[in-house]
Amino acid sequence: MSGPGHDALVVADLAVHYPARNGPPVRAVDGVSFALARNETLGLVGESGCGKSTVARAIVGLQPPTRGSVKVDGAEIVGASRAALRAARARMQMVFQDPVTSLNPRMTVGEAVGEPLLVRGIARGAALRERVAGLLTEAGLRPEDAGRYPHQFSGGQRQRIVIARALALRPALLVCDEPVSALDVSVRAQILNLLVDLQRAHGMACLFVSHDLAVVRHVCDRVAVMYLGRLAELAPRDALYAEPRHPYTRALLAAVPEPDPVVQRAKPRVPLVGEIPSPAHMPSGCRFHTRCPMTQAICRTVEPEWRQVGSSLVACHFAG
C-alpha cells in the first residue's frame, strides 16, 4: 500500500451496519481497509450488493459508518464536526451514476458548475463566469453552454457537466460511483478518457467504483475486489488480470465475455455454486466458502487473514 505522507485517502477498518427490526443487523461493509496515493486510480469491483457504493458514500460522508477511520488528504472524516467536515469536503468530490438526478433541473449549467465556488466565497461576478467557462472547456463543453439547462443536453454531456462541477474546487480525491453505467455505450469511452486525462492533469487520487471489469482495466492503476462487505484481493491492475490469486477474482474475470470466440472458448471456466449469502447472516470462516470450488474444512471455521502472494494482497487460505 502507499506510504505515509503520500496518501490522499486512507481507509481503516471501515464498517457500515444497518439495523434491522427483527434479526441481526445488515453488515453491508464489515472491515474494509486500503490506501490511495495521490495521482493514483483504484478500482473497487464486485457483484451487485457487495458494498462498493456504501464504501464510496461512507468515504465522502454521505453515510455515517458504524466504525473505522477515513482520512482524506490527512483530515479525519469519521466523527468530524460539521465545520471540520465542511472544510474536508472541499478536498473530495463525488461523481454519481446518474447525471440526470445529480443536477438541479431549475439551475442553469453555469449556476450548477459555479455553485461550489460561490458557496465557498472563491469567486463571484465576472471572475466566477470566467472560472465556469474554463471548467466547461476543460470538461469538453463550450463556454456558451453555461446559459442552458440540463434537459437540453445528452446523457454524456450531462455527465461532463457533473465532472466540471466536481473539479471546481480542485479536490485531492475524486470518488466515481459507476460513472458510465447509465450512459450509452457509444459515449462511455469518451467519458472514461476524459476522467483519465483530468485525473492526470490535476494529480488527483480517484476511487473508481464499478462492476465492469473491462472499464476498470482501462482506467485503474490498482484493483480491489470486494465480496460480501470485505476485500478479497488487492493488486496492481496488470498483475490481477494476468494472474488473479483469489478464487472469487478468477470467477469474476472468467465471466467477462471476450469478443473473439476463439479466446472465449479457451478461457478457463470457474464454477460458482449457490447464491450470495445475506449480509445479515454472514457465513462463518471465509465468507466465500459457500460458493468456492476450493473450499476445505479450515475455510468453514477460520477467517483468512490478509497475506502477500506475489504482488497481490489476498484473503484466502489457499491462494498461491
The rounded percent of the chain whose pLDDT value lies above 90 is: 75
**DSSP code for 132:** H
Quick one: pLDDT band at residue 268, thresholds 50, 70, 90? confident
Beta strands in the chain (DSSP E): 7-18, 26-37, 41-45, 67-72, 75-76, 92-95, 173-177, 205-209, 222-227, 230-236, 307-309, 312-314
Phi-psi map region of 61: left, alpha, beta (phi>0 left; psi -120 to 50 alpha): left
How do residues 269-304 score in pLDDT, each as one tens digit?
777 777 889 999 999 999 999 999 889 999 999 999
- Residue in the structure block whose three cell numbers are 480542485: 170
Architecture of domain 7-91+171-314: 3-Layer(aba) Sandwich (3.40)
List, for residues 111-127, the tens digit of each pLDDT value.
999 999 999 999 999 99
Whether residue 204 has pLDDT greater than 90:
yes
Please check the confidence at residue 2 and state whether its pLDDT lies above 50.
no
Contact between 15 and 31 (Cβ < 8 Å): yes
Residue that wins the pLDDT comparison between 184 and 263: 184
Rounded Cα distance, 169 and 152, in Å: 25
Q: 46, 255 in Cβ contact below 8 A?
A: no
The residues, any chain, with a CB within 8 Å of residue 230's CB and separated by 6 or more, are: 30, 31, 32, 287, 315
Set of cell numbers at residue 14 = 471501515
Residues 138-166: pLDDT tens digits? 999 999 999 999 999 999 999 999 999 99
Q: At 6, is the pLDDT very low, low, confident or very high (cuts 50, 70, 90)?
A: low
Q: Mean pLDDT across the stretch 195-216? A: 93
pLDDT value at position 138?
Answer: 96
Strands 173-177 and 205-209: parallel
pLDDT, mean over the chain? 91
pLDDT band at 264 (very low <50, low <70, confident <90, very high): low
Domain boundaries, the chain: 7-91+171-314, 106-165
pLDDT at 3: 42
Q: What is the pLDDT of residue 19?
A: 93
C-alpha span between 228 and 288 (Å, rounded): 8
